[in-house]
Amino acid sequence: MPPRSEEPRRDATGSRRGSSAGGRGADPRSGEPGIGGISDARAYTPRGRTIREGGGAARTGAGGGAGQRRTPRSSRSGDPFRPALQVLDGGRAGSPRTGRRDTAEALDGGRAGAARAGRRDTAAGGRAGVVRTVSARPVREPFDDDEPTPPRRRPGPRRPERPAAARRPVRKPRRPPRLADPRRRLRLGTLLALALFAAIGIRLVVLQTVTTPAYADGGLPDRVVSVELPAPRGAIYDRAGDPLAHSVEARYVYADPELVKDRFATARLLSPLLGVPASDLAEKMQRRTRPGTTTKSRFEYLARGVGIDKAKEITALKLDGIGVHRDEAREVPGGDLAANLVGFVSPDMTGLEGLEAKYDDLLEGQPGKKTYEVGQGNLAAPIPGGYSQTTLAKPGSSLQLTTDRDLQYQAQRILSDQMAQIRDGVGAAVIIEIPSGEVLAQVSYPGYNAAYPEKARPADREDAATSFVVDPGSIHKAITYGAALQEGVITPDTVFPVANTITRGGVPFTDTHPANGRRMSIPGMLAFSSNVGTIEIAEKLGRDRLIDYQKRFGLGQPTGEGMPGEAAGRLLPADEWSGSSYGSVPIGHSVDATPLQMAAAYAAIANDGTYVQPHLVKEVIGPDGTRTPAAAPLTRPVLSPQNAAALRRMLEAVTTIDGPDGQATGLAAAVPGYRVAGKTGTGLRYVDGKRQPGAVGSFIGMAPAEKPRYVVAVFGWSPGGEGGAVAAPAFREIMGFTLHHYRVPPSAEPAPKFTAFP
């Protein structure tokens, strides 16, 4: 191996490293300019090649003699990048065994496309060698990106050079690929965009027009609330328009037991405001499960119809689990005034008794409803412009009755005062206007306060005028005498002897005022209430005709006045008559009737023999104030006007005969200044078909007798039989007040004089 040369390392052109351009650092042996400094730094690329190496390379060959230099091992190995890697390692020379690489091959990368221009041999420094000069094409900068990096040549022996003629021809540069037409791309993009917008538009149209209801309805329940709009219940007025019962706005107080923290403390605070015992309130607030379910109770009424002022006080307490909401209360201004007639309602405003129950469908309103969208959470308020639908509430219609509030009050007061004199009694009073048949007052005893119906016994809440079924007794005799007059059996001047006793079917019938077989006039028979004389007249009339007139006068069927549950009474059918029935039926026994039925029969006598159905409802007032008169009452002729007038005249004897032969039974019913025609009666009371102890005393009369304006009927029952002492005085006071209340002038002529025993 030759010794390592100590002279500076040269590159492929023979120049030394470290020399500068422009003559500085030139090799004294070759005269070649060197590369050094900044030029040397710029000449190297990242792959280790220099610009000078790219332009050509000198390859040294083997010379003869001892001075000939051995080809470096790197040239034999054929690795053209080895010098470059050495440059990158710092530019140090390789080992003496490797020598220098052929820089021209390093530049070409093993490509065979470069043409060799010629060869020249030079000798330098006593060494013989051959230098091959290669004509090279311009070389691009190795960092230009438009030319791919030449492939790395595999190390190995160098192929012998082929002749120029045998070399592969230089390929023509490929034609660049044809670019796409921008106009086609623009048209395609436009079409795609239009298709996209069309699809979106069609979808929007479908959503807005076709499927909108489905989507809207699907989410509506989650954001829609409904509020009931209450409809006030109609009022009940008297004939002058004064309210007997009407509805007012109120509040109800409720509890959510699951939210009430201390039910006992809460009950103590609410008790004085609600007027309910604290123990009852605490019981309602106790947590419980609803019957038949596993659901916890979250709502319990504590009070209904609470006044607005009280409700505000309760709200101010801010009690946990206690709430207040709008309610309706039925107000009865008169308390017990006409309570048995008007009736009452439940807390839910449903009629339970009286006219409230009879006309519940007409009085109750139809609640409205408002449905609207609200916000979520704390914004639970109507959404402006959102869904909203309102069904207006329809208030109930009102009733205007034929009753007179003032007259009702006085009749109720008078009857109560009279009935208070007897023990455990039941009484009724009815006032009918002639000729309209309107009921001006209808009184029951005992009464109750309709504002607190739960405090009264069920029997005390009944309307006695339509439910008090009695054996009318002697007041029925007016029907028997009226039928006999109409059928010509008797005349006002008829006189015949009357015995003290008469027996029919083995049953004796006697008189309380014995005639002792004397001749007796028809007025006298009425004045002394002769049973024997009445039975004899009925036998001449006959059973069938008597039953027919009973029906004409309205017995045996409800009057249809308007009260619910009105009793029909009962007439004894002809096929059920026994031997004693011929004696009992004419004098008012074996007959069931109500006070109202008997009052209506006397009203037919007062109305010149025409029966007019008694009625309570005058007109219906709609929610808009429209007034609709009630249906006209049923009417039918019963007696001729002449016979009716004759019967009225004979009935005056009941309140006027007072002589040596005795006093008439109805003297206590006489009204000073007015002629009164009427009849007393003593009957029996039956409950569920069973006769009750005691007796029913009654008086029915009309005034002024010469031209009646009003009929008043009074009934009183007591277990001790004191009703007879009550009826006539009560009639006198009620009739007297009625005549004065309506300013009826006194009778111009005194009552006729009657002789009982001519």
User: What pLDDT score does 233 carry?
Assistant: 93
Q: In the numeric block, which tokens belong to residue 259?
A: 């939210």
pLDDT greater at residue 219 or residue 456: 456
Name, in order, each residue with C-beta under 8 angstroms of 142's C-beta and a sequence gap of 6 or more: 45, 46, 47, 49, 54
* Model confidence band, residue 375 (pLDDT cutoffs 50, 70, 90): confident
Tens-digit pLDDT profile for residues 592-644: 999 999 999 999 999 999 999 999 999 999 999 999 999 999 999 999 999 99
Token look-up 């006769």 returns 691
**What's the whole-number mean pLDDT along residues 42-60?**
45
Instruction: Provide, rounded to the nearest whole percent, the portion of the chain with pLDDT above 70.
Output: 75
User: What pLDDT score does 372 carry?
Assistant: 82
**What's the whole-number mean pLDDT along residues 36-44?**
48
Q: In the numeric block, which tokens belong to residue 191?
A: 């079409």
57-66, 157-166, 509-518, 558-567: which has the minimum mean pLDDT? 57-66
Of the candidates 480, 576, 577, 578, the one whose C-alpha atom is nearest the C-alpha of residue 532 is 480
What is the three-state SS of 122-167? EEECCEEEEEEECCCCCCCCCCCCCCCCCCCCCCCCCCCCCCCCCC
Domain spans, the chain: 1-154, 228-399, 406-449+459-741
In contact, 43 and 18? CB cutoff 8 Å: no
pLDDT tops 90 at residue 650: yes
Mean pLDDT of the chain: 81
How many whole angstroms separate alpha carbon 400 and alpha carbon 630?
Answer: 10
Kindly tell me the burial class for residue 352, based on how many C-beta atoms sit within 10 Å of its own C-beta (0-12, 13-18, 19 or more): middle
Kindly tell me the burial class for residue 5, based on how many C-beta atoms sit within 10 Å of its own C-beta (0-12, 13-18, 19 or more): exposed
Tens-digit pLDDT profile for residues 223-273: 777 777 888 999 999 999 999 999 998 999 999 998 999 999 999 999 999
In contact, 374 and 382? CB cutoff 8 Å: yes
Regarding the domain delimited by 228-399, which CATH topology (the fold level of the hierarchy) does it fall under?
Answer: Penicillin-binding protein 2a (Domain 2) (3.90.1310)
244-248, 309-313, 387-391: which has the minimum mean pLDDT? 387-391
User: What pLDDT score does 135 carry?
Assistant: 44
Q: In the numeric block, which tokens belong to residue 325?
A: 């909401």
User: pTM for this one?
Assistant: 0.70
- Any long-range contacts for 292-299 (C-beta under 8 Å, 24+ apart)? 296/257, 296/258, 297/257, 297/258, 298/256, 298/257, 298/258, 299/254, 299/255, 299/256
303-307, 645-649, 725-729: which has the minimum mean pLDDT? 303-307
Tens-digit pLDDT profile for residues 335-374: 999 999 999 999 888 999 999 999 999 999 888 888 888 7
Token look-up 């619910």 returns 564
Instruction: Provide, rounded to the nearest whole percent, the portion of the chain with pLDDT above 90.
Output: 58
User: What pLDDT score does 86 carry?
Assistant: 46
The span from the first CA to the last CA of the chain, in angstroms, equals: 196
Q: Phi/psi at 255 (nearest 5 deg)?
A: -130, 145
2-16, 256-270, 495-509, 674-688: which has the minimum mean pLDDT? 2-16
Regarding the domain delimited by 406-449+459-741, which CATH topology (the fold level of the hierarchy) does it fall under?
Answer: Beta-lactamase (3.40.710)
pLDDT greater at residue 294 or residue 626: 626
pLDDT tops 70 at residue 677: yes
Q: Which residues are tagged catalytic? A: 474
pLDDT tops 50 at residue 403: yes
Beta bridge partners of 519: 497
Token look-up 């914004």 returns 379
**What's the whole-number mean pLDDT along residues 128-140?**
44
How many whole angstroms separate alpha carbon 514 and alpha carbon 428?
Answer: 31
Q: In the numeric block, which tokens belong to residue 275?
A: 């007027």
Name, in order, each residue with C-beta under 8 angstroms of 673's C-beta and a sequence gap of 6 or more: 746, 747
How many whole angstroms separate alpha carbon 233 and alpha carbon 248?
Answer: 9
Tens-digit pLDDT profile for residues 81-116: 444 444 444 444 444 444 444 443 434 444 434 334
Write out the DSSP string of 336-385.
Answer: TTTHHHH-EE-TTS-EEEHHHHHTHHHHS-B-EEEEEEB-SGGG-SBPTT
**What's the whole-number mean pLDDT along residues 466-474?**
93
